[in-house]
Every structure is written in structure tokens, then in C-alpha cells.
Structure 1
């Protein structure tokens, strides 16, 4: 992995990031100090357009940043993923929207809840939007939001699924986040009541999947030629792999300490087996994610089109990486023995975080893998890739 100033800042702040996790859990949102550390690191600007203070970095660097942060703090890793990727998404929007969000502050955070939970009516110059959306991670620190909604364009073509970008003045956050996993992420509800959203702050998802996006006229770098799902899904799986690595580290360190202090003592062979498998699963998950993303980056750099085969492989391996992370965390949790169940145990807490993240809509195999299977058997693609 190439060196990057953001990765160096994360490494330098590692002890501080880990120390803030308990405060974030107790406050059910990222702590003020942890939020400042992430802002100062620049991690949320890794895949942001250079025109607005971003790094336009290789997305594999963003993957590494998510992974390293999630090893230190589940909440920080998860929010880094789902908020940080929005800097890439906004780069696809009309430049007027980018100017509104980043013109005064390139460190502005955007939360989201992309499910089509809203309803919108087409009006002159835009849409009137109403709805309520759940699971908006990082919402307490954000001053803009992306939400999804269905709208009747009035052209007889049926409802259209669109994304809408709104400032805090046009929505409210309701503090409803009370969970036993990813507790510190502040994933609250977003409520919109008859807000006007101008056309340039809305996008048909079909245009997004085709990358037929106005932002690409001004953000012409290769980063903004990566297909939506191929880059976006990493934001909700790489943090889980980092968390799984944390469970492995929490399980193995006491065993190392006991073995060093007690000559002749050794864990049971089955424990050795589980830990070896857990480490392999974590490494494999990162390898396949970065391999697929790297292949896409190299394909675009060569001026070639990203094939449907590669797009489907990336969607398939996204789910495989989720499964590997969960499996590794389960093995680590079992290897931790009875101490794993203590309330103060970081091992059980992060184990719950991994399982909570598995429930993200894009991490459930029931949705993704049947689409891949359909394509493998010759189906005409009728779903987003």
C-alpha cells in the first residue's frame, strides 16, 4: 500500500482514537474529540475532488484508512466509511451542489439514508420531498444529508428512484439510536417535511449507475469513472474487516501473555486452529476487496470499460468479505474463552459491532448473491451494478 499523509496521521493518533471509543459508546455518537481527530486527519477528504480540498486518492488508500481506524474504534471506522464515501458521491453532482456544500468548508460532513423511504412531487425547478429515514450514521456531526425517495415525474413512465441532497435547515435529526452494536455511530433518523429540493441537488439512480452524472464534467479524474457499486460497497464492508481484526487481536494477546508467563503452557490445538483460520479470513477479505478495486482502477487508467464480469465479481466478493469478517470474529470470540462475555470486554463489544454491521442492507447476501447468480446463468442485467 502506498504511503499517504492521511495514513500517517491515523497511525500517529492511534492511541487517542482507541481511547475515545468508550466515550462514543456512552454518548451513542462519535465523541467531540474523536470527531476532531478524524477531521484533522483528512480521512473524510480522501476520495473528495481536489477542486474542493480533497486528495482524489487511490480508493485503496481509503480502504486502508477505514481498516486501520476500525481496528481502533468500531464507531470511528464505520462512520469513516459511510460518511467518507459521500465525498466521492457529491463529486458526481452538479457543481452548484458541490459549491454549496464545500464552498465555505471542505471538511463538511454528509450523512445519508439511501433507501427510498421518501416521496417526492415534481414541481417547477425541483421537487417537494417528505419522508423519514433510519440508520443515518454520523448524522450528529453532519450538516447535509443524502436521502432516497420515489417520485412520479409526470411523464407516464411510472415512479423513479432518486437521491436527494439537503442541508440541515431542510431536515431534522431525531435521536433514536439505542442499540447493542455499533453503539457509538449516532445512526439516528432523518425527518423531512415538505422540503423543496432543486433539480441540481437530485439525481436519478439510473443515471448514477450509468455514471451519467453532471459532476464528471468538472471532476474529470479517473476516480470519478469508477462504477457506483464497485467503490461504494467497500464503505460498509472494509470497516467490518478492520473490526474483525480487532477481535482477533483481543483474543490472541492474552494467550501470548499467558504463554510467556507460564513456561510449558499452550492453548488447546483447536484454539490454534481457529485463530489461524481467523487471521487467514481477515487477510483474504482485504486481499479480494483491494484486488477487485485495484483491477477496476487499472482498467480505467488504461482507458478501458469496466466489464460486467468485473462488476459482478466485485458485488459477489463484497458479500464474501462480509462473511469472512463475521466468521473470523466468531472464531476470535470463541477463542477468547469465558472472559469474552464480561461487560468490560472489548472482544465481546467489537464482536457485536461486526454482527451489527452485517445487518446493513447492502451486506445481506439475500439481495446481492441472487443477482450475481442470475447473471452467471445468462440473465439480462436488470438491476444496478
Structure 2
């Protein structure tokens, strides 16, 4: 395909910055409505910010992991849910790009295509002619209502007669949505459940997850692109680091915005900014965020460099990568907690962004891939000479 305008990372970054006022203005109502505002979704789509990891031949920009993380951080600072969904759709595009090229032609038939993802194999598939019949339910499907396709996961018959997880691309029109998304954090992501009942999926639209996890992708046209010759889990992890960094930056900026002229109630400090406790708190938070950014950009840089060099990842590198992810999530959560605690009683009002950021970073930290303790254990096993206890590396 031709005629697409491939945007540079700098232009995409500028477009994201230009949309910050709009995204911020809709964040509270989006949370209350449990889905992103229509105007925000349309503006982000029109700006090309949902196409960061779409193949260029379909109008995507194939931005590096480092640039993707930076752009997502800008959106996330304005509204963490908007940043999360942007990252989730970017991962959906990347995963779809692992499928056969003619399948991609179908999925990316329009420039508006958005693909949501659920990586847990909570469906069951049986053989049916030249395909599979799938039944199942998938949880935490971010942006499902605004998506056109979903990458579902199901346990299916393997060649040796056992069961193995398989990824399948299905149109959203063939799935049922259960609007069960009532949460304390990331409310505007609209991460509802989706369901399939006796859904037939052509075999060409399926990929064994063992192949994906071993980087045995089915696409020929994407094979030369550094963006699409990286491992799925490091790629997915790097896709979301900008969400955490954006939340941390937003919390620090919000704290400073409210600091001027504010006293510490029931003390002799007429200005909070003059109190030593404030100096300790803001320094601790700022340094934690600085350290978190080091780990985040280290993860993205390593991913980009290895993709450019077409260099394989060792098992130890994959486990170390997960350790870095856990550390940056823990640091951002701790920094946000310090800043929220130092923000005074008025900060608990729903109109105050800091309380939403605090709830959102907590929700972020509970994600199976992001959870600090899970990642620390995995990295610790490597340091102790033990093998990983997961295939998701």
C-alpha cells in the first residue's frame, strides 16, 4: 500500500503534547463514564497516535520502543487511562503484525483499525474443519468497546495430542461484551470482559503461542523491521513503561502546582514549601522518579538495540528485564504515594488528579506482568542460578 504519511517521532510527540489540554479536561468525566471520551479517542486517532506500532505499509509509524514510551508518557500524564489504552492498542498492532501477511491485509484493511488484546488463555478451542471453534471469556480487555478486532487466547489441541495456548484474531462483531468494569483504578480504560460462544476461527487467523514466545512469527514482510523482530514479553513490557512514567511526572507536577501559597494546617508553617518535611518528601519522590526513568529507558533502549542488530536475547537478559520492570513500577508507586500523602486533605476530592493517579498506579502495579514482587522473584531466580518459573519472558 502507498500514499500514507509516515510521521516522525518528533511530530508524533508534538501532536501528543498539543492534545494534553483536551485529554486533561475529559479525564474526570471519562473516569465517571468508565470509558474514554469520544472526542479524545477521535483526536488521538486523527493525530495518528494509535498507529505507533502498526506496520508502515498500513499507515503505521513503526516508532522505536524508546519513542513509543516517551509519547505514551505524554498522554499518560494527561490521563493514565488514555495512555494505557494507547499502549494496549500499540501492542495489539504489534501482535497482529506477527500473523501471516494476508491476514494482516484483512485486519488492517482500514486505517481506523484498533486491536485489543487478552494474553490469558481463558478460552477453549476444538478442531473444526480447517479452523477452530472457540468458547470462552476474557477478562480485562482494555478498550474493547472502541476496538475492531481482538487477539484472544485459548487452549487448543497441539500436534502431539496435548493442549497448548493459541492466539487468534477475531472481529469484535463476533464477540459479546459483558460490561463488568467497575473499578477503583484505571476506570476509563473500559477493560470489560468479552465472550465467545461456538465461534469459528479460520486456522490462518491463529498462531500457537509457543511460536510467538520463541519469535517464530508468520509474517514475511515484517521480518526485516527492527520493530517486529523483538520478543513479545520485552516488547509488551516496554510498551507500557511510558504509562508509569507519565503518572509519576503528572503526580510531581500536580504537587508543585498546588504547593504555592499553601500552609500546613494546624502548624506554624504558613507555607508548606518552607517546611523541612516537604523538602524531604519532594526530594525523595523526585529521586525515585528519576531512578524509575533510568530503568524504563534502559529497557526500551536495550529492546531497540537488539531489534536493530537482530540479536537474540539470553534467558538471563529476559529475567533481568522483568526485574527492571518490577523496580520501576515499585519506584513510581512509592513516589506517587509520597506526593499524595504530602498533598493534604483536599487532595482526596475526586476533582483532584493526584488521587486518581494514586489509584491508577496501584491498579497498574497489580497487573500480572507489572507486579513488582512477581518480577523480583523471577529476576532473583536468575541471580540464584535457577531457571524461570514462567514461559512469559
TM-score interval for Structure 1 and Structure 2 normalised by the shorter chain: over 0.9
**Which secondary structure does the structure 2 equivalent of 1:44 belong to?**
coil
Give yes or no for contact 1:79–1:137 (8 Å, CA) kept in 2. yes
Distance change in 2, residues 1:134/1:310 (3 Å): same
Residue correspondences, number: 380
Matches within 5 A, 1:1-385: 3-103=9-109, 105-153=110-158, 155-156=160-161, 158-258=162-262, 266-381=273-388, 383-385=391-393
CA-to-aligned-CA distance 1:196-227 (integer Å, 9 cap, x gap):
11122111111111110112454421111111
**Which secondary structure does the structure 2 equivalent of 1:343 belong to?**
coil
Instruction: Tell me how far apart the structure 1 counterparts of residues 271 and 364 of structure 2 sit (CA, whole Å).
Output: 39
Distance change in 2, residues 1:310/1:71 (3 Å): same
Give yes or no for contact 1:43–1:80 (8 Å, CA) kept in 2. yes
Per the normalisation by structure 1, the TM-score is 0.93
Root-mean-square deviation over aligned CA pairs: 2.0
Distance change in 2, residues 1:380/1:313 (3 Å): closer
**CA shift at 1:367, angstroms?**
3.3
Give yes or no for contact 1:209–1:228 (8 Å, CA) kept in 2. yes
Give yes or no for contact 2:135–2:196 (8 Å, CA) kept in 1. yes
Per the normalisation by structure 2, the TM-score is 0.91
Give yes or no for contact 1:255–1:267 (8 Å, CA) kept in 2. no
Give yes or no for contact 1:47–1:59 (8 Å, CA) kept in 2. no
CA-to-aligned-CA distance 1:55-107 (integer Å, 9 cap, x gap):
1111211101111101001221111111222111111111122111112x123
Distance change in 2, residues 1:112/1:292 (3 Å): closer
Moved more, 34-43 or 359-368: 359-368
Give yes or no for contact 2:262–2:271 (8 Å, CA) kept in 1. no
Instruction: Tell me how far apart the structure 2 counterparts of residues 202 and 115 of structure 1 sit (CA, whole Å).
Output: 15
**CA shift at 1:51, angstroms?**
1.3
**CA shift at 1:258, angstroms?**
4.1
**Which secondary structure does the structure 1 equivalent of 2:50 belong to?**
helix
